[in-house]
A and B are shown apart, each in its own frame.
Chain A
């Protein structure tokens, strides 16, 4: 079946540091989303990015569909960036989004 792997599983950063989160997927991608689950449990859309690069403030994402991976960049991290980051892939020909196991990020003040 479709597999979505995220790395690293855990990450601790000092405020102001930059980081790169990676998502590898096993099947050709139709759609890909990045989410942030905040400490209160809410899942917040970050990017809808089946291919290419997008930027939103301090965050940016790149998906290389041909090589089956996506990267999420966080620059100048803030304590409010803490939480779990999920990528979810919707494989071609299906409607199901398969979620990765997440990267748990903690940003220290």
Chain B
């Protein structure tokens, strides 16, 4: 298996622009997680999907953030409008079941200037 795939790997954008991050989970996994990693806050969970349904989005920092999972093989995390404080590495992870081992993608390094 190719593992969790994320795109783009790097994104540089200007404040106010819309940013869309993409994730393809491991085939057969029914749980998908979006995380954000910063120096100040470490790794924090943003949102969790189970069987394509958002279960908990309490970690989403603001209404500027939204996430979708239209099917079992694709998810997006959108920031609109983006701000410099959104600069971070965004990871997607998937697992076979909710209470199972998580596998992380390579991450998207986002820089908002």
Interface locus among A16-24, A40-48, A65-73: A40-48
For residue A54, CB closer than 8 A to chain B, the reply is: no
Query: In the assembly, what is the distance between CA of A86 and CA of B102, in Å?
Result: 13
Number of A-B contacts (CB under 8 A): 44
A42 close to B106 (CB less than 8 A): yes
Binary interface profile of B, 98-110, with partner A (CB < 8 Å = 1, else 0)? 1111111011010
A45 close to B101 (CB less than 8 A): yes
B106 close to A86 (CB less than 8 A): no
For residue A58, CB closer than 8 A to chain B, the reply is: no
Q: Which of B55, B104, B106 contacts A95 (CB 8 A)?
A: B55
Looking at A95, A99, A102, the one whose CB has the most chain B CB atoms below 10 A away is A95
CB neighbors of B among A49-107 (8 A): 86, 88, 90, 95-97, 99, 101-102
For chain A, give the interface size range: 10 to 19
A41 close to B48 (CB less than 8 A): no
Q: Which of A43, A88, A90, A101 contacts B91 (CB 8 A)?
A: A43
Residue numbers of B with Cβ under 8 A of A are 31, 33, 42-45, 48, 50, 55-56, 89, 91, 98-104, 106-107, 109
Residue numbers of A with Cβ under 8 A of B are 30-31, 33, 35, 41-43, 45, 48, 86, 88, 90, 95-97, 99, 101-102
Q: A31-B101, A43-B107 are in contact. List 12 more A-B contacts (CB 8 A).
A: A30-B99, A31-B99, A33-B102, A41-B89, A42-B104, A42-B107, A43-B91, A43-B104, A88-B43, A95-B48, A96-B48, A97-B45
